[in-house]
Structure 1
Amino acid sequence: MPTLLIEHRISDFTTWSRAFDRFAQRRRDAGVLHERVMQPIDDPHYVLVDLEFGSNEEAQDFQRFLETEVWSNARNSPALVGSPQARIVDAASLKG
């Protein structure tokens, strides 16, 4: 299942979380099937987000949306520090 992996620095988790929540419907509309937000145990100013999609195209479209509409607009990403790293991955098939 394609997963959009996102990680970036933030200035404040509460502010970031409120902004993330504002886009909940947009994520559902874009085809997000499952989402997970994580933080390193030793860094409260960093987040990692996994967004699972049903297709590569949905993941790519949503990544473009984030790059052009969210991360490039300070109002839409008020706690973002620097540029996020994002990539689309899929489960690897291990054959032994």
Structure 2
Amino acid sequence: MYTLQIEHGIKDFDLWKAAFDRDPADRAGSGVTAHRISRPVDDPRYVVVELDFGQPGQAEAFLAKLHATVWNSPDVAPALMGAPKTRILESAL
């Protein structure tokens, strides 16, 4: 399993979650098999998103799609603050 981990600051969680739920990048159609959203207990204006994929190429393609169609558009990502920090992880277990 491969996980695209995304961390970024947000203006407002409810606004961010509504945009996430609209799914402008088509997670299921892009190979996402599961996702998790976490928030630091000491920072309500930050999120960590983990998106699981079966193949590393799917994670890489989805990350490229996020850069091209989501993160560069304030209309699509209205709650995003700053540039997201990303990495693709491979499950070690």
CA RMSD of aligned residues (A): 1.3
Structure-2 residue corresponding to 1:75: 75
Larger radius of gyration: 1
In the comparison of the two structures, how many residue pairs are matched?
93
- Alpha-carbon separation, structure 2, partners of 1:62 and 1:71: 12
* Alignment gaps of 5+ in structure 2: none
- Alpha-carbon separation, structure 1, partners of 2:28 and 2:91: 22
Structure-1 residue corresponding to 2:57: 57
Which 4+ runs in 1 deviate beyond 6 A?
A: none
TM-score by length of structure 1 reads: 0.93
Map 1:19-38 → 2, pairs under 5 A: 19-23=19-23, 26-38=26-38
- Alpha-carbon separation, structure 2, partners of 1:7 and 1:15: 16
Counting strand residues as a fraction of each chain, which structure ranks higher?
A: 2
Judged with a 3 Å threshold, the aligned counterparts in structure 2 of structure 1 residues 83 and 25 are, in CA distance, closer, same or farther, namely closer
TM-score by length of structure 2 reads: 0.95
* Alignment gaps of 5+ in structure 1: none
Q: Could you tell me which amino acid in structure 2 is paired with residue 70 of structure 1?
A: V
Quote the sequence identity (%). 44
